[in-house]
Amino acid sequence: MKKIALLLAQGFEEVEAVTPVDYLRRAGIEVQVAGIGGTVLKGAHGLSVGADLGVEDLSEDLDGVVIPGGLPGASNVAASKEAQVLIQVLHRRGALVAAICASPAFVLAPLGILEGKKATCYPGCEGDLTGAEFSTRRVVRDGNVITSRGPGTAAEFSLEIIRYLAGEAKAAEVSGQTLQK
């Protein structure tokens, strides 16, 4: 079974966090929700979500990491040394690194992960997407990196992660279960 971590910090965008967790678990992918700065975190719109463990307790034995956006959520992930190290280790190992909304610009770009890659982000964050070839597509996959625009693309983002980790058939199955098509 594939295993990923979803990084959750105060001010996360709720749809961008909950949708990947739900869709990936439907696909049979183990998701560990890792809290940064606590295990009960409040989203940008007041929804509190409990994490399974703290980011400092994560094993590096993962197939990937997913980083929701939102503000100040993306900035709080970017400020976490534990999150930075985990993301860099997984990326160097060729594991999946997926980020949505402000996180491609505020988390991945400063770490050099988007250097020479096609990527997208929330409108208005393009100036911070240093090193990347910006795309206006809703979801962009370039190698082991998946980026997406924002809350309205969370389902498509989640399905692309499933496609990457578990294949087209599993993505189609979850798409059908969730009435995406």
d(CA 89, CA 158) in angstroms, rounded, equals: 22
The single-letter code of the amino acid at 122 is Y
- Residue 152: strand, helix, or coil: helix
d(CA 20, CA 96) in angstroms, rounded, equals: 14
Q: Where are the domains of the chain?
A: 3-173
- Rounded to whole angstroms, what are the CA distances from 62 to 3, 31, 33, 89, 116? 5, 10, 12, 10, 24
Banded pLDDT at 145 (limits 50, 70, 90): very high
Of the candidates 10, 33, 7, the one whose C-alpha atom is nearest the C-alpha of residue 97 is 7
d(CA 108, CA 161) in angstroms, rounded, equals: 17
Give the per-residue pLDDT at 46.
Answer: 97
The catalytically annotated residue of 18, 101, 129, 132 is: 101
Indicate the pairing of strand 145-148 with strand 139-142: antiparallel
pLDDT, tens only, 58-69: 998 999 999 999
- Give catalytic status of residue 101 as yes or no: yes
The length of the chain in residues reads 181
Indicate the pairing of strand 40-42 with strand 48-50: antiparallel
Give the per-residue pLDDT at 60.
Answer: 85
pLDDT, tens only, 29-55: 999 999 999 999 999 999 999 999 999
Model pTM above 0.75:
yes
Which residue reads 């969730």 in tokens? 178
3-173 CATH choice from 3.40.50.880, 3.40.50.11440, 3.30.9.10, 3.40.50.970: 3.40.50.880
Task: Report the share of the chain in percent with pLDDT over 90.
Answer: 98
pLDDT, tens only, 78-97: 999 999 999 999 999 999 99
